[in-house]
Structure 1
Amino acid sequence: MPRIVIVVFIGMQSSCLDYKIEGLPFRKFDRIQAMKRVVKKLAKKTLGDIYDKVVLPKHYGVAVAANVKRGFPAKNLKIIGVTGTNGKTSAAFLIHAVLRQAGYDVGLMTTVAYGLNEDIKPPIFHMTTQPIEITLNRIVDMKKKGVDWLVLEVTSQALSQFRVLGVPIDIAVMTNITHEHLDYHKTFNNYVQAKLKLFKMANRNRKGRRLGIINGDDENAALFADEIANVIAYSMQPSDDKTIARPVNIKLQPTSSSYTLKIKDDSYDIVCNLPGRFNIENSLIAALCGRAVGVSKQDIEAGIRSLKEIEGRMTSVEAGQDFPVIVDFAHTPDSFSKLFKDIRPLVKGRLIAMFGSPGRRDKIKRALQGKIAAQYADVLVITEDDERDEDGLGIMRQIADGAVKEGMTVGENILLVHDREKAIEAAIKQAGGKNDMVLLLGKGHEKHIYRADGEHPWDEIAAAKKALKKVLAKPKAKAGRSKLRKAAGSRRPATAK
């Protein structure tokens, strides 16, 4: 048995300086991965058969130490944890609005922001669930200020890395589960199992409601229901089952939606000022959370109606133009399908979509993004999106391949513009009038963009306003747009669009 234990902490992925190991060029990411493999191999060789018994994940040790140091600060706090592939942030904001309307002091921690009540700030790190030390520090601060409830957005990586260890979940929410983050989890089953941990945590919380609110339309719904004592399911599908919450009399508008929520013998008249059918689902979640907590019908309705917008979630950008420009965080095949399906019927003219796909992340989704966008949009502008140290042009071509298979053509109705600022301008130039719409997708609220030389400041909404002002200040180049419009034609089949 060795008398010396060597503990090696290797930091998060960071981009992207050149190194050389044994005469070969390595990016910093590759160097870190190589170091991890060497250390693990050395540890297994040294410890032999007892390796799996004595070696705990680094993140677990960090989480335990952080809780012990702060005296397990989340103890006795009432927390609603929201997980899923898409919709987490919007659902969390809507839940926060409902509980605030009811008079509670409510904390919020999401991808977009964190804070207490109306004192909401932008996040520090480019990740949804922050490192556990930061999460616990914020909880300490919130408890000092008298927080009643915390609404916490929880990712699969955070659950895998124990970033919510010691955080008691009262109500667990699952929005939907689709293929995402397979670069990290390797398999879809691993991804689902990570998400299930939130429901297991809630079920272990004997002081809580042990309640799961689940998307009944998701093919994985039963897995989540099996992990928790009490379940409320919601569905967008018609049914006579009164125990399943569902919307009826749905009315979709370009900037909002309205419907009646039915569950058991109760009805709620909901107006949601976040557009899209997917936000009907998110507002359903908020209503059900409020109902479970004991919020009145009036406060549930008023709370959902009070939320006007979330930065980078279907955010309208105005600079005096006569056509809509929308910034949204949609970046997965599932979010693309939902967004384009809802938006296309509202656009009388041409739909122009600009987006990219991140480097060092799930490569499978790139062509799918191009394929889905091509089924609904008339013009695609493909650009960078956190490419890190991957070949940005290669990523763009992979996206374009998916669109080409749907009948689009690079150089005609597919534009490849690597610089994102120039891509926004190129997309705006394609709009010919008030019936057209420009969608800027993928970055949403994020304040940084990752390139081969590291992190750069970024603000999609500000970049869009800048591009709009620049384009509007110049005489319209009708010839350029008409040429592209003629090549693109109308891509609005009655079934898909």
Structure 2
Amino acid sequence: MDSLSVASARSLAGAATTRARCDTRGRATPGIRTTVPVRVGTRARVPGPPQWSGSAAAAPSSSTRAATWSVLSVRGGSPLGGRLGFRIGGGAARPVPAVRAKADRRAKDDLIDDDILRRAMDMADDDFDDVASEDELRALDMLDETDGAIALDDDNDDDAVSVAGLGDDYEFDDDDDAGAGAVEEEEEGGEEGETEEDEMEEGVALLRELFEYGAVDVTEWIELGEDEDVEVSGIANDSRVVLGGDVYVCIVGEKMDGHDFALDAVAAGAVAIVCERPIDGLGVDVPQVVVPSARAALPRLAAAFYGNPSASLTTVGVTGTSGKTTVTHMVRSILDANDVRCGVIGTTGYSLDDVRLTPHGGVWEPEEKDPTKDRAATAPGWLAPYRGKYDVPTASPDALQCQQLMAGMLDNGARAAAMEVSSRDLARGRVDCCDFDVAVSTNLSGDHLDDHGDVASHRNAAAELFRRLTDPERQRAVINLDVSASEDGEKSFDAAAYFSEAASAVPVVTYATQEDKADEADVFVERADLSLFETAVTIRTPVGTFDAITGLVGEVNVSNVAAAVAAGIAMEIPLDVIAEGVEAMESAPGRMELVDEGQPFSVVVDYAQTPEALKRAIESVRKTGANNVITVFGCGGDRDASKRAEMGRVADEYSDIVFVTNDNPRTEDPYKILDDIVAGFRDRIYELEAIKEEALFPFLKDMYLIHPNARHETMKLQNMCRRYVIVDRFYAIRAAIAMAGEDDAVLICGKGHEDYIVVGTKKHWFDDRVEARDALQKIPGVQEAGIDTSNLPWGRRDRAGSGAGNVLDA
């Protein structure tokens, strides 16, 4: 066997999974060089591994992936069958490994004869001039097909190798003459004057091979001859984050066209441009690769470059109108209980345990000092600066960032990832080439019709996640059988049958909480006892029934718990471990999150920003047994103004006490926003008999808009109807909490996990949870000092109602 083949076998035997590193801009990169690559001459190649087929959205099939990317482990246990379409087990939890890494090297033992494999592995450590037997060569070929890291070409006279997992960090033995991360090509008669700079370095991909392994169709190669190639050390689709050696992909967006920024990308160090049309002015030194769709090419190129990291993770995708954030965190809790490190990708950020990631997969670190780090609360008037904090992206990760985030999670030791997948993400191709093992649906309602136009389009977009499940040996669908209620109270949006049909290629695990679905569901919540501070459930599954008490509150979380349990069943996690994960569950940040300082009433912070979400949150809290529901909310500026009055109507109809306050006003007049919200219930209040007799002027305004002589009367009238308008959210939260009595519930909606407020174009530190906790700690002292906080303004009990002694402003 020639020296090059044995060296290649050695590199294959020692290859590791992608090890993403963090560069100067927080990007996950596959251990690449930092120098700007130069154009290189053509390298001899061999036929690549099997290519992807189908649409750009499709990840590699299971058979293709085995040859291209990773090893698919073989599931143990009995043949699958039964009500779920497979047999999960008897009435008790089975002691089986729950989550099996798709790139588990041990799976080779199921595919290759042990003795031949062992000899092949040993052979890699022998001298280069050893002669291999036919069995050993066959084992090496099978290793190649299994790992997909190096493709050997016995028929190629140049004895070249082709790196398939372009993003992998190839590890070599200490005595390997090739050096870490570089496969040395020992060709006789090599070009005169060839230097180390001309050789492939660690993690650097050849441009043509990147397109080959990504199976990206190319319309035209410009300024790149057939005998030329370019070394690429990264991918970027934003000219502002281009690093030297990147290939820049021109994405055509709704408002901007990436082609317009190609020159900026080249100036920043891009060595090649992927575009949909030729771009003038780039010069002969910058190759252009013209493709039919740059948007469709991006996920394929990214998955190829980063080694398809989702194939090395047990990946759970959660779609639905609401509940996605909560369910992903619940899934992580169950996986944590099963000793599987799970990262989360969603609207509250990107995290792995206590590690936070940048949108490009690097480990986040503050770039400046946080001046509010040790403060217990903010300050009135939006005075607290917002610096040195983890700024959660407002948009979902794009197709490139999805690959970078998963590579970054792998680098930090993750074995699984739970990811929010909205219908918008699916429609825009953001999760193309992500390989999901389990797809979960939460619910489907009309909240996002502005993105899709109608219910049918919304449903079709969400169903795409289930159509991508094609491997019945590995992939599972988890579908909610409950029927969501429409705004008029009638049941509608029954998407279960539609999603089940979309997932017809794989086994389906169903779950439900509604009584009429009890016999049909695989996972069913037989009992849910709601209270202000916890929820007790009894859940029946195909492998047994268990009881659990969780700190999650609200009726909405009952269905979310069922979804997470069904996902655990789909991953074959033992039932006792699932139960442990349920009891360990904590609220997702800002999602029906309980703030508990030992008070005799509950305080819940939620992200509800639409009329339907607000109604769902209020009704959910009311069903915990609250005497009064006190709702604090607002609406963001520079956003859909048409929903403001409806938000006001919902809060007025379903709450006992309402505080209308500021959200992120941005560039709008905050007082105008409050007025738009109040329009949803102003007429009803003004027509109340008691109010008609007292009110001589419009009083549903912030008192600072009222003439000083009328402020006392304004507060009196707002106290009478229990509808308050306070522009400063700092005061509104404290007033609501101070007004709460035993067994009441204060629901603070609109911002959820956000730890800032945007005024104009500037962010200021403001966190509803921090403010609520501070109020809970300080207000008891105010009340013990003899201050009456049951009405506004606060005053001494002996002078309550007089309007004197207002300490809310103190």
TM-score by length of 1: 0.77
**Aligned equivalent of 2:322:** 86
Structure 1 range deviating more: 97-106 or 312-321: 312-321
Distance, in Å, in 1 between the alignment partners of 2:595 and 2:354 is 23
Letter in 2 for 1:458: F
Distance, in Å, in 2 between the alignment partners of 1:179 and 1:288 is 25
**Aligned equivalent of 2:667:** 389
Correspondence list, 1:69-468, <5 A: 69-117=305-353, 119=355, 124-127=391-394, 129-201=396-468, 203-204=469-470, 208-218=474-484, 219=493, 220-229=495-504, 230-239=507-516, 241-264=519-542, 266-318=544-596, 323-346=601-624, 349-404=627-682, 407=685, 410=700, 412=718, 413-431=722-740, 433-468=741-776
Distance, in Å, in 2 between the alignment partners of 1:321 and 1:416 is 25
Alignment check: 8 A CA contact 2:631 2:746 kept: yes
How many pairs align? 453
Displacement, 1:34?
Answer: 7.2
Distance, in Å, in 2 between the alignment partners of 1:414 and 1:255 is 26
Partner-residue secondary structure (3-state), 2:528? strand
Cα shift readout 1:367-415 (whole Å, capped 9, x = no counterpart):
3332222223222111232343345444333332333466588362322
Alignment check: 8 A CA contact 2:735 2:789 kept: no
Partner-residue secondary structure (3-state), 2:334? helix
Displacement, 1:361?
Answer: 4.0
Distance, in Å, in 1 between the alignment partners of 2:793 and 2:419 is 48
Letter in 1 for 2:545: S
Alignment check: 8 A CA contact 2:607 2:752 kept: yes
Alignment RMSD: 4.1
Displacement, 1:166?
Answer: 1.5
Distance, in Å, in 2 between the alignment partners of 1:298 and 1:401 is 52
Letter in 1 for 2:410: K
**Aligned equivalent of 1:489:** none
CA 87–480 in structure 1, closer or farther in 2 if over 3 Å, else same:
same
**Aligned equivalent of 1:67:** 303
Distance, in Å, in 2 between the alignment partners of 1:73 and 1:66 is 10
Partner-residue secondary structure (3-state), 2:680? helix
Distance, in Å, in 1 between the alignment partners of 2:568 and 2:589 is 23
Indicate the structure (1 or 2) with the bigger Cα radius of gyration. 2
Cα shift readout 1:95-143 (whole Å, capped 9, x = no counterpart):
1111221222322223224333564679643336324443322311322
Displacement, 1:241?
Answer: 2.0
1 or 2, which has the higher helix percentage? 1
CA 126–186 in structure 1, closer or farther in 2 if over 3 Å, else same:
farther
Displacement, 1:83?
Answer: 1.2
CA 90–389 in structure 1, closer or farther in 2 if over 3 Å, else same:
same
**Aligned equivalent of 1:50:** none
Distance, in Å, in 1 between the alignment partners of 2:483 and 2:323 is 14
Displacement, 1:470?
Answer: 6.0
CA 169–434 in structure 1, closer or farther in 2 if over 3 Å, else same:
same
Displacement, 1:441?
Answer: 0.9
**Aligned equivalent of 2:214:** none
Partner-residue secondary structure (3-state), 2:539? strand
CA 70–338 in structure 1, closer or farther in 2 if over 3 Å, else same:
same
Contiguous gaps of at least 5 residues in structure 2: 1-221, 223-236, 241-252, 261-275, 279-289, 358-363, 365-389, 485-492, 689-699, 702-717, 795-799, 802-810
Alignment check: 8 A CA contact 1:216 1:233 kept: no
Displacement, 1:206?
Answer: 6.6
CA 280–349 in structure 1, closer or farther in 2 if over 3 Å, else same:
closer
Structure 1 range deviating more: 63-72 or 443-452: 63-72
Contiguous gaps of at least 5 residues in structure 1: 13-31, 47-52, 487-497
Distance, in Å, in 1 between the alignment partners of 2:599 and 2:341 is 40
Partner-residue secondary structure (3-state), 1:325? strand
Letter in 2 for 1:311: P
Distance, in Å, in 2 between the alignment partners of 1:407 and 1:165 is 51
Partner-residue secondary structure (3-state), 1:248? strand
Alignment check: 8 A CA contact 1:359 1:388 kept: yes
Alignment check: 8 A CA contact 2:346 2:396 kept: yes
Displacement, 1:282?
Answer: 0.8
Partner-residue secondary structure (3-state), 1:425? helix
**Aligned equivalent of 1:26:** none
Alignment check: 8 A CA contact 2:478 2:566 kept: no
Displacement, 1:309?
Answer: 3.6
Displacement, 1:355?
Answer: 0.7
Displacement, 1:251?
Answer: 1.4
**Aligned equivalent of 2:135:** none
Alignment check: 8 A CA contact 2:426 2:465 kept: yes
Displacement, 1:82?
Answer: 0.6
Displacement, 1:91?
Answer: 1.1
Structure 1 range deviating more: 91-100 or 474-483: 474-483
Alignment check: 8 A CA contact 2:535 2:551 kept: yes
Displacement, 1:244?
Answer: 4.2
Alignment check: 8 A CA contact 1:272 1:279 kept: no
Distance, in Å, in 1 between the alignment partners of 2:615 and 2:317 is 25
TM-score by length of 2: 0.49
Alignment check: 8 A CA contact 2:446 2:455 kept: yes
Structure 1 range deviating more: 364-373 or 88-97: 364-373
Letter in 2 for 1:236: T
Partner-residue secondary structure (3-state), 1:241? coil
Cα shift readout 1:51-102 (whole Å, capped 9, x = no counterpart):
xx9863x644543443343233323432110111211111111111112212
Structure 1 range deviating more: 127-136 or 368-377: 127-136
Distance, in Å, in 1 between the alignment partners of 2:781 and 2:483 is 48
CA 473–291 in structure 1, closer or farther in 2 if over 3 Å, else same:
same
Displacement, 1:444?
Answer: 1.4
Alignment check: 8 A CA contact 1:381 1:415 kept: yes
Cα shift readout 1:435-475 (whole Å, capped 9, x = no counterpart):
43322111111123333324333322122334455655545
Partner-residue secondary structure (3-state), 1:426? helix
Partner-residue secondary structure (3-state), 2:430? coil
CA 67–406 in structure 1, closer or farther in 2 if over 3 Å, else same:
farther
Distance, in Å, in 1 between the alignment partners of 2:772 and 2:537 is 32
Letter in 2 for 1:251: D
Displacement, 1:288?
Answer: 0.9
Structure 1 range deviating more: 317-326 or 230-239: 317-326
